[in-house]
A and B are shown apart, each in its own frame.
Chain A
Amino acid sequence: MKTIAFILTVWCLAAACATPPPISVDEALTAGNDEKMLWRRAQEEQKVIDNSGWLYRNAELETYLNEVAAKLQAFTDSPDISFKIKIINDPNLNAFAFPNGVIYVHTGVLAHMENEAQLAALLAHEMTHCTHRHSLRVLKTLKDRPRYMAAVQQSVEKIAMAQDLARLLGVNGSMAAVTGYTRELEAEADRVGLDLMAKAGYDPRQALNLFEHLRQEIEIEGIKEPFFFGTHPSVQQRIENAGRWLATEYSAQNTGLINSDIFRFKLDKLVLDNAQLDLRIGRFYIARRSVEKFLLLNPNDAGAYYLLGEIFRQHGELDDIQNAIKQYEKAIALDPSFPAPHKAMGLMHYKGGEQRLAQKFFETCLLLAPEAPDKAYIQGYLQKCITNGEES
Chain B
Amino acid sequence: MKKLLPLFFAVCLISGCASAAYERSLEDLPKADFSVDIPSGWWKPQHVNRYLITKEGPFLQYVLIQQRPIDRPFKKTQKKLRNGMLPLESAKIVIDEIAADRNILNFNILENTPATIDGHAGFKILFSYRDKKGSEYKTLYYGFISGDSLFNLRYNAAARHYYDKDLADFMRILYSFKLVKA
User: Hey, which bits of chain A sit against chain B, CB under 8 A?
Assistant: 48, 51-54, 161, 164-165, 167-168, 280-283, 314, 316, 347, 350-351, 373-374, 376-377, 380-381
Assembled-state Cα–Cα distance A360/B13 (Å) = 69
Whether, in the assembled complex, B120 has its beta carbon less than 8 Å from a beta carbon of chain A, the answer is: no
Candidates A53, A161, A168, A280; contact of B132 at CB < 8 Å: A168
Tally of A-B Cβ pairs under 8 angstroms? 62
Within B84-130, the residues touching A (CB, 8 Å) are 84, 86-89, 96, 99-103, 105-107, 109, 112-114
Asked whether, in the complex, the Cβ of B79 is within 8 Å of the Cβ of A314, the reply is yes
Q: Give the nearest-CB partner of A169 in chain B.
A: B102
Asked whether, in the complex, the Cβ of A168 is within 8 Å of the Cβ of B102, the reply is yes
Candidates A52, A165, A167, A282; contact of B106 at CB < 8 Å: A52
Assembled-state Cα–Cα distance A53/B130 (Å) = 10
Q: Give the nearest-CB partner of A163 in chain B.
A: B102
Task: Knowing A53-B106, A167-B103 are in contact, say whether A281-B76 is a contact too (CB < 8 A).
Answer: yes
Task: Knowing A48-B132, A316-B82, A377-B88 are in contact, say whether A164-B114 is a contact too (CB < 8 A).
Answer: no
Asked whether, in the complex, the Cβ of A53 is within 8 Å of the Cβ of B101, the reply is no
User: Hey, which bits of chain B sit against chain A, CB under 8 A?
Assistant: 76-80, 82, 84, 86-89, 96, 99-103, 105-107, 109, 112-114, 132, 134
Asked whether, in the complex, the Cβ of A281 is within 8 Å of the Cβ of B132, the reply is no
Q: Give the nearest-CB partner of A380 in chain B.
A: B114
CB distance from B156 to the nearest CB of A (A): 17
Assembled-state Cα–Cα distance A124/B58 (Å) = 45
Candidates B78, B82, B86, B99; contact of A282 at CB < 8 Å: B78
Assembled-state Cα–Cα distance A373/B110 (Å) = 9
Most buried by B among A165, A280, A351: A280
Asked whether, in the complex, the Cβ of A282 is within 8 Å of the Cβ of B105, the reply is no
Chain B residues contacting A280 (CB-CB under 8 Å) are: 77, 96, 99-100
Q: Which 10 A-B pairs have the closest CB atoms?
A: A282-B78, A164-B102, A53-B106, A282-B79, A377-B88, A376-B113, A52-B105, A280-B96, A282-B77, A281-B77
Q: Give the nearest-CB partner of B110 in chain A.
A: A373
Asked whether, in the complex, the Cβ of A53 is within 8 Å of the Cβ of B105, the reply is yes
Task: Knowing A281-B77, A282-B79, A347-B86 are in contact, say whether A164-B109 is a contact too (CB < 8 A).
Answer: no
Most buried by A among B76, B82, B84: B76
Assembled-state Cα–Cα distance A168/B101 (Å) = 10
Asked whether, in the complex, the Cβ of A281 is within 8 Å of the Cβ of B114, the reply is no
Q: Give the nearest-CB partner of A52 in chain B.
A: B105
CB distance from B146 to the nearest CB of A (A): 18
Candidates A53, A161, A316; contact of B107 at CB < 8 Å: A53
Assembled-state Cα–Cα distance A316/B78 (Å) = 13
Asked whether, in the complex, the Cβ of A281 is within 8 Å of the Cβ of B106, the reply is no
Asked whether, in the complex, the Cβ of B113 is within 8 Å of the Cβ of A377, the reply is yes
Assembled-state Cα–Cα distance A328/B107 (Å) = 29
Assembled-state Cα–Cα distance A52/B134 (Å) = 9
Q: Give the nearest-CB partner of A48 in chain B.
A: B132
Task: Knowing A48-B132, A53-B105 are in contact, say whether A281-B100 is a contact too (CB < 8 A).
Answer: yes
Most buried by A among B100, B112, B134: B100
Assembled-state Cα–Cα distance A164/B105 (Å) = 11
Q: Give the nearest-CB partner of B134 in chain A.
A: A51
Candidates B76, B87, B105, B134; contact of A377 at CB < 8 Å: B87
Assembled-state Cα–Cα distance A376/B114 (Å) = 7
CB distance from B150 to the nearest CB of A (A): 16
Asked whether, in the complex, the Cβ of B87 is within 8 Å of the Cβ of A281, the reply is no
CB distance from A320 to the nearest CB of B (A): 13
Q: Give the nearest-CB partner of A313 in chain B.
A: B89
Asked whether, in the complex, the Cβ of B86 is within 8 Å of the Cβ of A167, the reply is no
